């Protein structure tokens, strides 16, 4: 039976803060009227923003706090004031069971540290991983993890990420047996570090898991849609993610410059506008907003700090879907099956 989604929103996070976070939550509720919310932050600002969203106001409770985690706060600083900040109290609502998940657009490092401390990692997980969906040329998006939570990973960490990423792909994209690959500098078995080659050996030996290990994948194939899950350490993953985002902005800016360079180009733009609109939609990061911390005893999602209302709404939708489909249980079961197969 599907779980009823109740989501704690860190209303003070993000570049814009209360106004944008609540606009996104309201947009999400218009499409999913079963959603309920706990809005955490400055009560005066929240109530003022709710005047524009009566549908959201009717489905929300407010937890007041003046404390905010800034973008400059170190994780250690954020942890010390967790019980008095909007981010910390949103996570605490998940820990208490008052909310099924939490969404924040605030400081990523602080969110990771507080979530890990409050919710703890699942049995059999050494480190949680940050996972996100990115667009591809294939029929489905691709799950990439880790995207920055762990700069250094051993083979065991990478295999755990693979299992968690496959469970996430089944939940978020409805795939029965996701294709999983390790990011590497080549596709040959002898390529890469000891950690990557050892992880590959462990995944090839794994039996009975609802996933297909597809070997290694190189950086130029990340967006081809040839696999469903790409696994890497957080250092490589964060660089890959920022490269993809930068390339997308480069392409859109280059097209904009080209189409405004002359009268003929402007006429060409009008003719090709349907195609360019499709490209813009495909590359818009707001359409793929929301990264989830996998491996915790609870659902916590990071929204991009600069996300607009549509982006926040997409992040909230994803959070609700992960709650409804009980991603925590699915990951726990897959990890248990993996450990049993490894022991055998």
- pLDDT tens-digit readout, 15-30: 888 999 999 999 999 9
CB-neighbour burial class of residue 181 (10 A; exposed 0-12, middle 13-18, buried 19+):
buried
Domains belonging to the chain, first-starting first, are 1-122+295-325 (3.40.718.10), 126-288 (3.40.718.10)
Give pTM, 2 decimals: 0.87
When pLDDT is cut at 50, 70 and 90, the band that residue 1 belongs to is very low
The predicted-structure confidence for 59-73, as pLDDT tens digits, reads as follows: 999 999 999 998 888
- Give which of 11, 13, 37 is closest to 323, Cα–Cα: 37
Residue with tokens 């009717």: 58
Q: Which two tokens stand for residue 87?
A: 């981010």
Each residue's pLDDT tens digit, 245-289:
888 778 777 777 777 777 777 776 666 666 555 555 555 667 778
User: What number of residues does the chain have?
Assistant: 344
């Amino acid at each position: 039976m599907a779980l009823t989604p109740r989501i704690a929103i860190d209303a003070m996070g993000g570049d814009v803060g209360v106004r944008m976070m609540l606009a996104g939550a309201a947009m999400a509720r218009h499409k999913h009227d079963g959603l309920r919310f706990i809005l955490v932050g400055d009560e005066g600002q929240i109530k003022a923003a709710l005047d524009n969203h009566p549908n959201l106001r009717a489905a929300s409770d407010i937890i007041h706090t003046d404390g905010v985690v800034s973008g400059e706060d170190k994780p250690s600083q954020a942890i010390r004031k967790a019980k008095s900040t909007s981010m910390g109290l949103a996570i605490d609502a998940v820990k208490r069971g008052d909310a099924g998940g939490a969404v924040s657009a605030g400081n990523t490092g602080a969110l990771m540290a507080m979530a890990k401390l409050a919710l703890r990692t699942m049995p059999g997980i050494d480190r949680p991983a940050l996972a996100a969906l990115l667009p591809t040329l294939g029929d489905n998006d691709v799950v990439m993890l880790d995207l920055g939570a762990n700069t250094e990973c051993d083979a065991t960490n990478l295999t755990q990420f693979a299992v968690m990423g496959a469970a996430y792909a089944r939940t978020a994209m409805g795939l029965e047996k996701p294709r999983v690959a390790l990011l590497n500098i080549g596709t040959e078995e002898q390529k890469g570090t000891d950690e990557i080659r050892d992880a590959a050996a462990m995944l090839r030996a794994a039996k009975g898991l609802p996933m297909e290990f597809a070997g290694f994948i190189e950086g130029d194939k990340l967006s081809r849609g040839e696999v469903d899950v790409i696994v890497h350490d957080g250092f490589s993953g964060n660089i890959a993610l920022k490269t993809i985002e930068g390339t997308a902005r480069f392409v859109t800016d280059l097209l904009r410059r080209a189409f405004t360079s002359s009268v003929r180009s402007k006429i060409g733009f009008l003719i090709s506008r349907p195609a360019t609109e499709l490209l813009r939609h495909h590359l818009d990061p707001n359409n793929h907003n929301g990264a989830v911390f996998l491996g915790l005893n609870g659902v916590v999602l990071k929204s991009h700090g600069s996300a607009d209302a549509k982006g926040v709404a997409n992040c909230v939708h994803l959070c609700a879907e992960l709650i409804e489909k009980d991603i925590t249980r699915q990951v726990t079961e897959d990890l248990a099956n993996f450990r049993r197969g490894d022991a055998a």
